[in-house]
Amino acid sequence: MSHGHDIPLPAAPSLIRFPAWTFVLAGLFVAGGAGTFGWALSSGQAGLAWSAYLAGAFYALGLGVFGILWIAMTTLTKGTWAVSMRRIPEAMAAWILPGAILAIGVGLGAHALYPWTDGAVVAADELLQHKHAFLNEGVFYGLSMVAFLVWTLFGVAIVWHSLRQDTTGKVSHSRAMVTLSAAFVVLFALSFSAVSFLYLMSLEPHWFSTMFAVLTFTDVVQTGMAFVCLVAAGLVARGAWNGLVNDNHLHAAGTMLFATTGFWAYIYFCQFLLIWYANVPEETVYFLRRMDNGWLAWILVLPVLKFVVPFLFLVPRAAKRVPWKLMAAAAWILVAQFVELFVMVAPALGHGEEAVPAHAPIVECLVTMGFLGAFYLVFAFTMQRRAPVPLKDPGMRECLEYRH
């Protein structure tokens, strides 16, 4: 809720500076990830190398596009409580272009990942022949580039209006952001569905799920919200915003993070339930493959990591207001997201007698850390170059009056 009286706007805080050691650590992650990918590729483990690359690229790209999605959602719902921390998702969105280029690089390893890229396999498989109109490399590259171009252009436009308002103070920039946000959420829903189908679901081209696009959407929202909470809580703990973001704003962001845990569990269970009671062989193969060859433990522990633990931890009011507690919950979810991508991607490589056995995700983890290190470098560099808060946004006064 907010109060009716106005309060004077405070002076703009100093530019945010991230510790130098975090840049060094991120650089080491990038070097380690690139080295691990190169080692796996050169040692004849192309499937392992490219599956790790896919998981890392998709993870980081999701964080980038969530930046614009979060701005769009809070703008359309008039979530003025979020105005003062908007520079976090804006900086996240800076990753969309480099992240998109790296994601398209998955196509270089398509033959190691996707059976539908093998002409001999398609020729011997009637079902793949029927799906060939969508599952082919031309569509893969074409839809990817269209989707990523849409995300990039909307990201640039929305962030431009936000930054331009810092100079002009015109309300017209806020109106433009509403219009752009409305168009973006529609186009994002369509384009992200196609991207999730092509990059993840088509790893097992015989399998399909009507819930898959929604599930991957919840992953992006939950993980992106966790990153926003992690950074916001860390900056509040350091006093970097001089009270412009306080425990009330953290509580609202933490409540959103709490809600995403329940949303993810609902969608995850719905996908399983629909597949279980329909009992269609083409659908059940996804879970059957993840119950064999040692994968059962991974699929059982995933709901505990992504739902049970963070849900119970975030129930108390203090967990959403005390910075270190919110940071702990957010960091846990970020780790759990890696586990989900590992469970999505790794068991899909290999079929029948060549099914991939469960293994410790060492290579996958190191490569993903490389992508996240690169994402952090772009994010932190971008955020340090901009004003910490959009003080001239017309919703700023209501944001500062916000009480949770």
Mean pLDDT lowest among 32-46, 241-255, 349-363:
349-363
Asked if residues 271 and 302 have their Cβ atoms less than 8 Å apart, the reply is no
Spatial distance between the Cα atoms of 22 and 19, rounded to a whole number of angstroms? 6
The encoded tokens of residue 99 equal 């992240």
Confidence at residue 350, expressed as pLDDT on a 0 to 100 scale? 72
Residue 262 to residue 400: CA distance in whole angstroms: 29
Nearest to 339 by CA among 313, 308, 365: 365
Q: How far is residue 324's CA from residue 316's CA, in Å, rounded to a whole number?
A: 14
pLDDT given for residue 356 in this prediction: 85
Q: At residue 15, what are phi and psi to the nearest 5 degrees?
A: -60, 145
d(CA 200, CA 34): 22
Higher pLDDT, 276 or 404: 276
Residue-wise pLDDT for 226-250, tens only, equals 999 999 999 999 988 888 999 999 9
> What pLDDT sits at residue 243?
83
pLDDT confidence of residue 274: 87
Buried b (16+ CB within 10 A) or exposed e, 19-53: eeeeeeebeebbeebbebbeebbeeeebbbbbbbb
Whether the CB-CB separation of 286 and 220 falls below 8 Å is answered with: no
The pLDDT assigned to 352 comes to 52
Q: Given pLDDT bands bounded at 50, 70 and 90, which one contains residue 1? A: very low
Q: Report the pLDDT averaged over residues 105-126.
A: 94
CB 383 within 8 A of CB 32: no
- What percentage of the chain exceeds 90 in pLDDT? 84
What average pLDDT does the segment 320-343 reach? 97
Q: Would you state the pLDDT for residue 253?
A: 96
Which of 40, 30, 27 is CA-nearest to residue 362?
Answer: 40
What pTM, to 2 d.p., does this model score? 0.95
